[in-house]
Structure 1
Amino acid sequence: MIALDEIDRAILRAMVADADLSAGALGRRLGLSQPAAWRRLKRLRAASVIRAARLDLDAEKLGFGVTVFLGVKIGTKGQAALGDFERAVSAIPEVQTVEHVLGMYDYRLRVVARDLPDFERVLRRRIMTLPGVASLDANVLLSEERRPGPIG
């Protein structure tokens, strides 16, 4: 774990709000020189505090109007069965995230589809045929509000 001071936390908050900020713009916003801001960003990236900048696409504007969260229970346990499922589900383009979880289900999937008939097609032809799937539970996303996680 890396020790973070208040300037590091301010950098992280600014980058969460706008990941495209240059070191110069970040420095101006926080009262740092461009080289000082750049060195701090480099240190945070080297320590993997900042792992990557990601492109946040609007699925609905791209024609994917339905998002469904699936709870998946795997029938056969063991590393091989879990690995087979993870490899197969990761190859489905409509599956946005695959989370191995503890609780009622073994996996939580975020699946996007154009509409409900399209989701049904993905479910029946791709997801229900995956190795080891014993049961599924679906929750359709109605709305979403994203919040950044705690920065310390």
Structure 2
Amino acid sequence: MIEIDDTDRALLKALSDDADASAGALGAKLGLSQPATWRRIKRLKEAGAISGTRVQLDAQALGFGVTVFLGVKLGTKGQASLGDFERAVSAIPEVQTVEHVLGAYDYRLRVVARDLSDFERVLRRRIMLLPGVASLDANVLLSEERLSGPL
């Protein structure tokens, strides 16, 4: 674990708000020089506190109007069966996240589809045919009140 100070926290917050901001712009916002800001960013990246940047796509704007969370219970849970399931489910483009969880289900999937009939197609032709699947539980996303943000 890396030691971070208040300036690092402010820098991480600013980067999470705008990952495209230049070191100069971030430094001006935080009262640091561009080189000092760049060194801090570099140190945070090298320590693994910043693992990368990415573009946040809006599924709705891209025509994916339905998001479903699936709880997946596997029939068998050996190392091989977990690996087989993870490899197969990761190959389905509509599955946005695969989370191995503890509780009522073994996995939690976030699945996007154009509409409910498209989701049904993905469910019947892909997800229900995954190796080891014993049961599924679906929850349709109605609205997202808070998107993931900084820690």
TM-score w.r.t. length of structure 1: 0.97
CA distance in 2 between partners of 1:94 and 1:42 (Å): 34
Amino acid aligned to 2:15: M
Q: Which residue of 2 aligns with 1:20?
A: 20
CA distance in 2 between partners of 1:133 and 1:120 (Å): 16
Q: Which residue of 2 aligns with 1:55?
A: 55
Aligned residue pair count: 150
Shift of 1:2: 0.5
Segments of 5+ residues of structure 1 without an aligned counterpart are: none
Q: Is the 8 A contact 2:13 2:150 kept in 1?
A: no
Distance 1:91 1:44, change over 3 A: same
Which residues in structure 2 correspond to 1:74-93 (within 5 Å)? 74-93=74-93
Find the residue that maps to 1:111 and give its secondary structure: strand
* 1:21-50 deviations in Å (ceiling 9; x for gaps): 111110000000000000000000000100
CA distance in 2 between partners of 1:11 and 1:133 (Å): 44
Q: Which residue of 1 aligns with 2:33?
A: 33
Q: Which residue of 2 aligns with 1:97?
A: 97
Q: Is the 8 A contact 2:74 2:135 kept in 1?
A: yes
CA distance in 1 between partners of 2:119 and 2:98 (Å): 17
* 1:36-83 deviations in Å (ceiling 9; x for gaps): 000000000000100010110001111100000000001011110000
CA distance in 1 between partners of 2:61 and 2:149 (Å): 23
Q: Which residue of 1 aligns with 2:140?
A: 140
TM-score w.r.t. length of structure 2: 0.97
CA distance in 2 between partners of 1:3 and 1:60 (Å): 39
Q: Which residue of 2 aligns with 1:5?
A: 5
Distance 1:83 1:54, change over 3 A: same
Pair 1:126 & 2:126 matched: yes
Amino acid aligned to 2:38: W
Find the residue that maps to 2:49 and give its secondary structure: coil
Amino acid aligned to 2:75: G
CA distance in 2 between partners of 1:87 and 1:81 (Å): 10
Shift of 1:149: 4.0
Find the residue that maps to 2:111 and give its secondary structure: strand
Report runs of 4+ in structure 1 exceeding 2 Å deviation.
none
Shift of 1:147: 4.2
